[in-house]
Amino acid sequence: RPIESFIRNLPKAELHLHIEGTLEPELMFRLAERNRITLPFASLDEVRAAYQFSDLQSFLDIYYQGMQVLIEEEDFYDLAIAYFERAHADQIRHCELFFDPQGHTERGIPFKTVISGLRRAQDEARERLGISSGLILCFLRHLSAESALATLEEALPYREWLLGVGLDSSESGHPPVKFEAVFERARQEGLLPVAHAGEEGPPSYIWEALDLLKVLRIDHGVRCLEDERLVARLAAEKVPLTVCPLSNVKLRVFDTMARHNLKELLRCELCVTVNSDDPAYFGGYLTENFLAVQRALGLGFTEIRQLADNGFRASFLGEREKGELL
Ligand code: ADE
Ligand code: ZN
């Protein structure tokens, strides 16, 4: 179909991608073997069978378990370069990657090991694949504010390798206010703030992310439609939402793709972008996310073009770089 080849060939930006969520079962097995780690799965099919989620937490349990095979700098490089190759095939020109340092430092892996491996893959992606990228350090919201602050301090020697800070993991019960101080400190360093909000959590978490963390984008944010005043504010201030359609269906935020509210978000004149979140776990990379919403919601060429352009507009690229890519 013409719209499918249009989607495949469209230059794209990706703004909501957890690099640890790109760990494919094949690489998980290879790294487990290389690092002599015993996986709780006997085969690739057993791994894939375990990827049946009922909500965000049921996914996170498997996600934190999967990342335990990442030990050496080379492992983080292998993970990230595999993503960049995949991104290249999807016509991605720019990406802003999340990483979860606490998922590694809590297991005794030095911060330097993590960021050095990722950085090496970023350099290669720029040189060899023509993909620009930035790193967004995410704080795990199920851990304490003190742990987040300690993580930021550990990261500051690598300040120049970081684009921003984010907030992810278990949303319910961990409102943004818990991380007000660490975001303040990160902003003082010039790090650009974003946060997951309104994925499973209520609209009040989106308000808090805006007012207390002063975020420049909302990751997910799909529950904003429950609050008319919030929608008006997001539209007036042009706050981008990084929406992840396949993720939302896999984690049961919406029962089916046909029930996804992306089209309503567009109708409310919100700056909606399409992203893949944790593609190795949710069954598709960026192009598949575009194809899935297009099919289920009957999006036209204009809407698809709008979504892809929004990805570049909502990115943290400079105005001149945006102009060159748009
Ligand atoms: N960590 C990885 N993916 C996530 C998501 N979709 N929501 C919250 N935390 C995450
Ligand atoms: Zn996410």
- Atom of ligand 1 lying closest to residue 220 CA: 6
- Atom of ligand 1 lying closest to residue 199 CA: 7
CA distances from 241 to 41, 102, 124, 221, 275 (A): 36, 25, 29, 6, 10
* pLDDT under 50: residue ranges of the chain: none
Q: Is residue 321 part of a domain?
A: no
- Per-residue confidence (pLDDT) for residue 173, from 0 to 100: 97
Tell me how far the alpha carbon of residue 93 lies from the centroid of ligand 2, in angstroms: 20
**Catalytic site includes residue 199:** yes
Instruction: Give nearest CA residue, ligand 1 atom 9.
Output: 169
Mean pLDDT of the chain: 98
Q: What is the pTM of this model?
A: 0.98
Q: Is residue 59 part of a domain?
A: yes
Q: Is residue 258 part of a domain?
A: yes
Distance between CA atoms of 297 and 264, rounded to whole angstroms?
A: 10
On whether 16 is known to bind a ligand per the annotation, the reply is: yes
Sheet of 272-274, strand order? 12-18, 92-99, 132-140, 164-168, 192-197, 217-220, 241-243, 272-274
Task: Write the single-letter amino acid at 279.
Answer: P
Ligand nearest to the CA of 96: 2
Task: Write the single-letter amino acid at 103.
Answer: G
Which residues have CB under 6 Å of ligand 1? 18, 21, 56, 63, 168-169, 196, 199, 247, 277-278
Cα end-to-end span (Å), the chain: 24
Q: Could you report the per-residue pLDDT of 53-110, keeping only the tens digit for each?
A: 999 999 999 999 999 999 999 999 999 999 999 999 999 999 999 999 999 999 999 9
- Per-residue confidence (pLDDT) for residue 56, from 0 to 100: 98
- Per-residue confidence (pLDDT) for residue 326, from 0 to 100: 86
Quote the domain boundaries for residue 121: 2-314
Q: Is residue 69 part of a domain?
A: yes
ipTM above 0.95, yes or no: yes
The angle at the Cα of 159, spanning 199 to 19, to the nearest 5 degrees, equals 40
Choosing from 96, 171, 199, 208, which is the catalytic residue? 199
Number of domains forming the structure of the chain: 1
Q: Is residue 324 part of a domain?
A: no
Distance between CA atoms of 220 and 123, rounded to whole angstroms?
A: 28
- Atom of ligand 1 lying closest to residue 244 CA: 6
- Residue 120 sits in a domain whose CATH number is 3.20.20.140
